[in-house]
Chain A
Amino acid sequence: MSNPATATPKTKKSFGEWIKSRKGQKWIVIITFMFVPLLLLTVFTYVPFFKMVQFSFYKMKYIGPRTFVGLKNYKEVFSRSECFKSLYVSLYYMGGAVIQLALALFFATLMVFKTKGESFFKGAMFFPYLICGIAVGFIFKFFYARGFVLDSILQALGIKLEDIPYWLQDKKINNISLAATSVWRYTGQNMILFLGAMMSVDSDLYEAASLDGANKWHQFRYIILPSIKSIVVLNLILSISGSLSAFEPPYVITNGTMGTGTYFVIMNRLAHENQKVGLACAMAVVLLAIIVVCTVAQKLFFKYAFDDGTSDESKAAVRKRKKAEKAARKAMKGGQA
């Protein structure tokens, strides 16, 4: 502490003096600036969180008596077919997320080289991200409806209507249709993220590389990829929790019918329509546990693979290099002997 007020020896000070001192000032700032956000955090995040954990041990409705049931709700989460099936539905969204990241990376790579009409392409691909979820829902309800947009396009391409599946009713395909709307909505946004990371690379590097005769693949492999690997991996891992908490497409487009209910859609139905509050809370706790595990895994992965992002050289690379050095030394020794 470098401020003069605290440096003075401990004399008894009145409250008024303390307020005027630097230390007093500091605490006033801390308290006034933190009061509102901490209050909001407590009331809207932590109180609900602990209540949620508490409710998950009860059989209860919103109003009326509660009975303590221990772990019964948790057992039900894992034994009820709809809950468990919904986790399986998330796999479609995870698949969608991987495709989305791959596409975004691909488009960003194409755009990083000088492109005519760049702002048009960027804008067109990014714009779906800005359309509100309900509007996206309607757009795709219309798009997938029997005999409407997608079917008309396919018919125009010469496919018979009888050969076209019902995009939203056919249980084999409807989850793919819904996950595709997420891909449509978020690919452009991911592309902008990746492009931003790629652009932060010094443009001289590209010029130097092409002067040295590096082709586009080499430029991608040795300049672009290293500059964005952490953001790509990060997004890949984030997409796991994102897929588990997928909600809007099935909620708006199919209302979770025909086997399209994701975890949250089922949870929402249990909580608000069936009023099984305890069970819904248990579902939420289970999901949160999965997300926490994923996040911890992500942190560990980053520490292991990227050395916490602080150094350019990954630990794996360091190990490899050390091994190579060791081998070289051995070989040298062998040569000497």
Chain B
Amino acid sequence: MRTKTSPITVIFNIFKYVVLILAAVIALVPVCVCILTAFKTTDEYNASSVLDLPKTFAYFENFKIAFTQANMLRGFINTALVLIVVLTVSVFVGAMLAYVLNRFQFKGNAVIQNLFMFAALIPGIATQVTVYQIMYSLGLINHLYGYMIVLMGTDIISIYIFLQFFENLPVSLDESAIMDGCTYFGVFFKILFPLLKPAIVTSVVLKGVGVYNEYYMSNLYLQNQDLKTISTALYTFTGPYGNQYNYICAGVIITIIPILILFLIFQKQVYGGMAAGAVKG
């Protein structure tokens, strides 16, 4: 290939890489300093500057303390359970609802769609004052399933994504299956559901990130020690460890590791899911 690089292109490229490297450094420095600090002993932490490298990267005491003190194992198990249940249910519920709203004409269809649209406008934290009362009267506070139910209840993203996706699935698919004697349930579960894979990926990515990061409601509805999720478990560091950032950083790194691994494996799907989720607006 003949490469004809003009000086402007060269300058542009230098500028571009300088900017990108700078941006990447800014994005990574706060996290990297945490990693350095997490490997320091308390004495070392008190004596050295935060930017100094730790003496060794084989000092895991902080991680051990963070992991046990904050009961992070419990937090991981709880968060994993919540993720599995909420994501599974959200996918099915969202897909089923979108199927009905998109494929059937009936009185109230438009009203229901508008109800969901308006619900998306209401910021979650705003209604928690009254949701708390409802949760209380239903006896759902301090139960993992109560928290799961409230997370499913506020799920509007996946419904949007599925509605959007059904728009682009030809109705002829349904029609020909019905000709062949398929029931509506059969059409949905056997024909359409397998085709929803891209939409499922998108909603799992968006909803998954949301659930993993959720803090406010889990703090409100799961006050029992054994019910802490990973973010509330991490939050327990505010009290007793005040300024012992070597422990806190270790805790932060522990919560980052699983998501980093998942991200590295599913990078493509994550980006794809993000981009597809944006189209709906």
Binding site for B on A (CB under 8 A): 25-26, 28-30, 33-34, 36-38, 40-41, 43-49, 51-52, 55, 62, 103, 106-107, 110-111, 113, 115-116, 119-135, 138-140, 142-143, 145, 148-149, 152-153, 156, 184, 188-189, 192-193, 195-197, 199, 215-216, 231, 234, 241, 245, 247-248, 252, 264, 267-268, 271, 277, 280-281, 284, 287-288, 291-292, 295
Contact = CB atoms under 8 A, between A and B. Distances in A.
B278 interface: yes
Given A52-B127, A134-B234, 9 more contacts: A30-B104, A37-B97, A46-B119, A47-B134, A120-B24, A121-B24, A132-B212, A192-B274, A271-B128
A106 B272 CA distance: 20
Contacts of A295: 121
Contacts of A43: 134, 138, 153
A257 B30 CA distance: 23
A136 B8 CA distance: 40
Interface in B135-158: 138, 149-150, 152-155
A156 B99 contact: no
Sorted from nearest, which 10 A-B pairs have the closest CB atoms?
Answer: A196-B275, A44-B153, A284-B126, A48-B130, A40-B153, A33-B96, A124-B24, A51-B130, A48-B127, A29-B184
B1 interface: no
Contacts of B51: 149, 152-153, 156
B271 interface: yes
Nearest to B259: A130
A318 to B, nearest CB: 23
Contacts of B237: 138
Contacts of A38: 112
B27 A188 contact: yes
A152 B50 contact: yes
A257 to B, nearest CB: 13
Interface in B255-269: 255-256, 259-260, 263-264, 267
A282 B169 CA distance: 43
A132 B153 contact: no
B281 interface: yes
B272 to A, nearest CB: 8
A131 B274 contact: no
Contacts of A120: 24
B27 to A, nearest CB: 5
Contacts of A48: 127-128, 130-131, 134
B275 A134 contact: no
B130 A29 contact: no
A115 to B, nearest CB: 7
Interface range, B side: 35 or more
Secondary structure type dominating chain B contacts = helix
Contacts of A133: 213, 215, 231
Contact of B24 (A125, A149, A189): A125
B123 A241 contact: yes
B125 interface: yes
Contacts of A25: 183-184
Contacts of B134: 43-44, 47-48, 51
Contact of A52 (B100, B129, B256): B129
Contacts of A62: 132-133
- For B8, B20, B93, B259, the residue with the greatest tally of chain A CB atoms inside 10 Å of its CB is B20
B234 A135 contact: yes
A280 B131 CA distance: 13
Contact of B31 (A119, A125, A139, A193): A139
Given A142-B33, A142-B37, A291 B121 contact: yes
Nearest to B212: A132
14 contacts: A30-B106, A41-B119, A48-B127, A52-B129, A106-B19, A107-B23, A110-B19, A125-B27, A131-B31, A195-B275, A247-B125, A248-B215, A277-B129, A291-B123
A25 B19 CA distance: 60
B87 interface: no
Nearest to A135: B252
A36 B275 contact: no
B278 A197 contact: yes
Contacts of B153: 40-41, 43-45
A168 to B, nearest CB: 13
Given A110-B20, A138-B248, A231 B278 contact: yes
A10 to B, nearest CB: 19
Nearest to B219: A134
A314 to B, nearest CB: 17
Nearest to B249: A142
B34 A142 contact: yes
B50 to A, nearest CB: 5
Given A26-B184, A184-B30, A127 B263 contact: yes
A26 B276 CA distance: 31
Nearest to B255: A135
B76 interface: no
B37 to A, nearest CB: 7
Contacts of B184: 25-26, 28-29
Interface string B11-36: 01000110110011011111101100
A231 B245 CA distance: 40
B277 to A, nearest CB: 8
A122 B106 CA distance: 45
A119 B263 CA distance: 12
Contacts of B215: 132-134, 248, 252
Contacts of B17: 116
B278 A193 contact: yes
B28 A34 contact: no
Nearest to A277: B129
